[in-house]
Amino acid sequence: MPRMKTDVVVLGAGIVGVSTALHLVGRGRSVVLLDRRAPGEETSYGNAGLIERASVIPYAFPRNWRSLWRYARNNTPDVSYHPRFLPRIAPWLLRYWWHSAPERLARAAEAMLPLIERSVAEHDALKDDAGIAHLFRRNGWIDGVRTEAGLAQAIAEAQALAPYGLDYRVLDRQALAALEPSLSSRMAGAVHWLDPVNVSDPGAVTKGYAALFVARGGVLAQGDARSLLREGKGWRVQGDGATIEARDVVVALGPWSPDVLRPLGYRIPMAVKRGYHQHFALEDGASLSHPVADIESGFVVTPMTLGVRLTTGAEFASRDAPPSPIQIQRTRALAAQLLPLGEAVEREPWMGCRPCMPDMRPVIGPAPRHPGLWLAFGHAHHGFTLGPVTGKLLACLVTGEAPDMDPAPYRADRYA
């Protein structure tokens, strides 16, 4: 088999891997971006399409017993679990719970803030050159509630974020109806977050960045990342048509990252939160202009190219277990109370896996024991949000350029 030499191989063509490859090419490196599938067809495809500038507090494990009992019954629309999987994931959930204590959650929020603050700007720095500005909408997103008590709580939580300087407005029932007239009156009001940006096709955004990577001299290759081997002072991996050799390799495989790292002796404590989406037509001339979350039920409806995308909360199950229809069924019934949903566009819901770390921050930086091995994964609910800013940070570290933030909170050796 012929051999191809390059400076860097990036494993994983999701939003994180594509962005990293693009930033490396921009810093003069020759780069091969390798995946088993085309760019943007796994986790980066199936999300709510939010660049979530307002999510300054990570999604924490609930600490009160009422919430824990609610989830334990396994009949809620926002969280579900496979009972047989619980013994396997219980140690990870315990670590997640421990890190969700108020003082540790505050530290996680502080660590994530530099990434979140730059999320929109780093997408903006790429989208025009990629020719995909038409996919971006700068109208924020809406946190809707069904009860007056829920609205009061949402307002209080928004006010608590005042130190972060986020822009939002409170919508009562009438103001919400004026903004989204097709929403039913079941919504008592909402908080409209104005800083986030949303897109009409996150998979197309990732593909657009990948096309820009190729236009700037990068190479796309298909292959099995699990074939990665150390060779001398560098690395090699098998592509479909050649053995690819590189001095540096970036593991940006999202939920599949442990498959490559485990043979190298790394035991990264990653779990996955599975999630589903399905697109629907709207009946009766209805329309939707903003992403709308039903925060009391844990789902989002958002206008996409294929129709209104209904996205679910978290399912705790083995990454490779067969899909379960229960969450999409529960949330479809609830979403139909808010919008006149018509026929589903796809025959079956899409399912993906969010790669999650117990301390609610990603792994970005060098591997502790292997020179030339770089890591970028574990972004949980914010992979699409943080792809470009992660790519820029890691590209700086690989090339020796001074980054514009402290990378220490994301180092892999915090788990060593």
Predicted local confidence at residue 10, as pLDDT: 98
Of 179, 141, 183, give the one whose Cα is nearest residue 284.
183
pLDDT value of position 48: 94
Domain definitions of the chain by residue range: 3-45+203-269+358-415, 62-98+137-196+271-356
Q: How far apart are CA 235 and CA 293, in angstroms?
A: 44
Rounded to the nearest angstrom, the gap between the alpha carbon of residue 292 and the centroid of all alpha carbons in its chain is 17
pLDDT of residue 2: 85
CATH class of 62-98+137-196+271-356: alpha beta
Please state, in angstroms and rounded to a whole number, the distance separating the CA atoms of residues 290 and 203. Answer: 18
SS3 411: coil
Question: Can you tell me the distance from the alpha carbon of 325 to that of 339, in angstroms, rounded to the nearest whole number?
Answer: 20
Query: Would you state the pLDDT for residue 415?
Result: 83
Read off the tokens for 44. 């980066």
The CATH classification of domain 3-45+203-269+358-415, taken from the options 3.30.559.10, 3.40.50.150, 2.40.40.20, 3.50.50.60: 3.50.50.60
| Tens-binned pLDDT, residue by residue, of the chain (416 aa) | 688 899 999 999 999 999 999 999 999 999 999 999 999 999 999 999 999 999 999 999 998 888 889 999 999 999 999 999 999 999 999 999 999 999 999 999 999 999 999 999 999 999 999 999 999 999 999 999 999 999 999 999 999 999 999 999 999 999 999 999 999 999 999 999 999 999 999 999 999 999 999 999 999 999 999 999 998 899 999 998 889 999 999 999 999 999 999 999 999 999 999 999 999 999 989 999 999 999 989 999 999 999 999 999 999 999 999 999 899 999 999 999 999 999 999 999 999 999 999 999 999 999 999 999 999 999 999 999 999 999 999 999 999 999 999 999 999 999 86
Closest by alpha carbon to 210, among 410, 403, 18? 18
Instruction: State how far the Cα of 202 lies from the Cα of 47, in Å rounded to an integer.
Output: 7
H/E element holding 18?
helix 15-26
What is the reported pLDDT for 280?
A: 97
- Which of 141, 104, 121 shows the shortest CA–CA distance to 357? 104
